[in-house]
Structure 1
Amino acid sequence: METNMVGWFEIPVSDMDRAKTFYETVFKVDIAIHNLGGLLMGWFPFTEGKEGAAGTLIKQESYIPSKEGVLIYFISDNVQNELDRVEDAGGQIYQPKTQISPEYGYMGVFIDSEGNRIALHSKA
């Protein structure tokens, strides 16, 4: 395989405005909302040629938010930065900043405004 395994991700939401505000607050980014024939998507910023996968918030009846499903890791400079903004944005800390190992860095997990379990990873 010539590329990284993950090329796209979708995070289910019940309330697009609430989820957009949550993620914009936690990550300090702008999310662009697109209505594709009844499929409402909130695209995360993406720059071609940079590391990492592109992805979206997604609202449609077949997408149900859950903290039991697949776990997505967002890359961070320091996971504590985002964790510090989670509760004020309407989420909750699920696992505080935890060292994986000296060589692999740190992780933390939160529950977003929609009930999804989302992880963070950083070297510091």
Structure 2
Amino acid sequence: MNYPHVVTWFEIPVSDLARAVRFYETVFAITLNQDACPSGMKMAVFPAEKEAVNGCLVQHESCKPSADGTTVYLNGGDDLSVPLARAEQAGATIVVPKTQISPEIGYFAQFIDSEGNRVGLYSMH
């Protein structure tokens, strides 16, 4: 089997879907597609190209936000400083400021989102 991507889907747990949707739509200047699943799970899916790895915000009693678990790194665009600044303005706590990994690899940052999750950003600049 050929695995072009290590990640195929991600879910960021939230306690309040409406609040989390406002936060992420503000940070990335996007619109998420909200949907309800037959299982009772509420979801808001990030927009993405058809072949891209994608994910969603998910609200369900079995999904608890955490700053201590796996960290998902979201695309920070051309310069992660832009969404990082919007995240801070939307109430995020910056836990790792924009930091260069190396000139060849790029930059990363981390923040605590509106729900208490540690989330990363990545960009080349």
- The normalised TM-score by structure 2 is 0.93
Query: What residue number does 2:42 align with?
Result: 40
- Measured in 2, the distance between the counterparts of 1:78 and 1:121 equals 8
Query: What residue number does 1:85 align with?
Result: 86
- Structure 1 alignment gaps of length 5 or more: none
- Structure 2 alignment gaps of length 5 or more: none
- Measured in 2, the distance between the counterparts of 1:84 and 1:46 equals 22
**Structure 2 counterpart of 1:74, which letter?**
L
Q: C-alpha deviations, 1:27-73, integer Å up to 9, x for none?
A: 00101110112110010002113xx4110000000100001000111
Query: What residue number does 2:115 align with?
Result: 114
**What RMSD over aligned residues (CA atoms) do the two structures have, in Å?**
1.0
Query: What residue number does 2:9 align with?
Result: 8
Once the 2 structures are TM-superposed, how far is the Cα of residue 89 of structure 1 from its aligned partner? 1.1
Once the 2 structures are TM-superposed, how far is the Cα of residue 93 of structure 1 from its aligned partner? 0.7
- Measured in 2, the distance between the counterparts of 1:57 and 1:14 equals 10
Query: What residue number does 1:68 align with?
Result: 68
- Measured in 1, the distance between the counterparts of 2:95 and 2:20 equals 17
- Measured in 1, the distance between the counterparts of 2:71 and 2:4 equals 20
Once the 2 structures are TM-superposed, how far is the Cα of residue 90 of structure 1 from its aligned partner? 2.0
Once the 2 structures are TM-superposed, how far is the Cα of residue 110 of structure 1 from its aligned partner? 0.7
- The normalised TM-score by structure 1 is 0.94
Query: What residue number does 2:54 align with?
Result: 54
Q: Give the 4+ runs in structure 1 shifted more than 3 A.
A: none
**Structure 1 counterpart of 2:49, which letter?**
T
